[in-house]
Amino acid sequence: MNDRSGKLVLLGKLLVAAIALVTLVAVAARQLAPSITLGELIVYCAVGVVCVMALIVLGAICSLQFSQFILRMGGTDAQWFWFTSEPRGLAALREQQREGEAARGES
């Protein structure tokens, strides 16, 4: 399967999942608000799904921007925030790098 057809299959699966989710929520919401027409209910559910997807994308963008900021400011890796300390030997490697830069600066 080439890359383009794989993406189309993924897009199709996502579309089917979104339709199923909207339908499931619409059926449950129909019981709660019987005065709203089915068309309005589906539109509200679709808008809700779009808003949730937009929030997920916004969260991913913010997370990636934060990770890039940390790396640009000299951080080890944004994923290391999950651990209590830096990887073994990293302090020694940084010290060697500083010594090498200082030696190049003197000559």
How does pLDDT run across 27-51, given as a tens digit for each residue? Answer: 788 888 888 887 888 788 778 888 9
| Cα atoms in the Cβ-side hemisphere of radius 13 Å centred on 85 | 5
Assess contact for 41 and 26: CB atoms under 8 A: yes
How much is the pLDDT for 5? 84
| Identity of the amino acid at 45 | C
Phi-psi region of 47 (alpha: psi -120 to 50; beta: other; left: phi over 0): alpha
The per-residue pLDDT for 14 is 87
Judge contact between 23 and 30, C-beta under 8 A. no
User: Residue 78 gets which letter from DSSP?
Assistant: G
Among candidates 54, 46, 53, which has minimal Cα distance to 20? 46
Q: pLDDT below 50 — which residues of the chain?
A: none
Reported pTM: 0.55
| pLDDT at site 1 | 55
